[in-house]
Amino acid sequence: MSTITLKLAGMHCAHCVHAVEEIITKADGIKTESVSIGLAEFSTTENWMGLELLKTELDREGFRILDVASLENEV
């Protein structure tokens, strides 16, 4: 399991935060999440969909990943 933090462009208001929360919540393999303007943090499970698929979903809604940080967690 990993904790991933994304720095995002295109988030300007509470509606944007909600839209990103919806995308992350619906993604396969994401266990927890925290979203604020410009930042999304979540934990992944073994069956997570992968960053490229998540990026595609975020791009489709007008959000762009600027930076990715990942921390491997011991199980």
Q: What is the pLDDT of residues 4-57, one digit of tens each?
A: 999 999 999 999 999 999 999 888 899 878 999 999 999 998 878 788 999 999
- Its pTM stands at 0.86
Structural domains in the chain (count): 1
Residue closest to 8 by CA, chosen among 60, 71, 58: 58
Position 75 scores a pLDDT of 54
Residue range of the domain that includes 26 = 2-72
Confidence band of 72 (pLDDT split at 50, 70, 90): confident
Position 74 scores a pLDDT of 58
CATH code of the domain covering residue 20:
3.30.70.100
